[in-house]
Amino acid sequence: MKIHFNDVLSHPFKSTVFAISLKAKATQWQYYVVNKSAIVLADPLISGKGNIQFTGPTAVVLATGQTALLFTSGHELLPLSEVPKYKFDLLHRPTAHHETAPSKSAPVKFVLKGLPCPDPHRFGQVKIGDSQQFSSPMYVYV
């Protein structure tokens, strides 16, 4: 849509108010967690304020051959913004020394506070249902 100043000045209703409203692009957020440290991520999860739930982790192999854990926002598409609106943390439930699996009653521990927010200039595509959507891949090295 184009609005020229001459069109506004010559409009018969000089008191007409124009409102321009833009909606931010919404994408599926994807966190690829690459564990290059000695930290054992027994039961990792991504958590934040609000009701946004991340699915995963799913073990994947990146194009570089590295293994990573993939967390996605699934069907929830989050809008991109210059100023971050969401804050997510990487947590995990440690296993007890005598257990092989993490206990759901075990307290969660922070691995990384404040995961990165997506760069609006870098995006990919993901198929959600029958449609193609934009995705925002982010790589987190622990």
Do residues 82 and 121 lie in contact, with contact meaning Cβ atoms separated by under 8 Å?
Answer: no
At residue 127, the pLDDT reads 83
Report for 22-26, 64-68, 103-107: range of highest mean pLDDT:
64-68
Do residues 95 and 101 lie in contact, with contact meaning Cβ atoms separated by under 8 Å?
Answer: yes
Average pLDDT, whole number, for the chain?
A: 84
Nearest to 28 by CA among 138, 141, 139: 138
Q: What is the pLDDT of residues 33-88, one digit of tens each?
A: 999 888 888 889 999 887 899 998 999 999 999 999 999 999 999 998 888 889 99
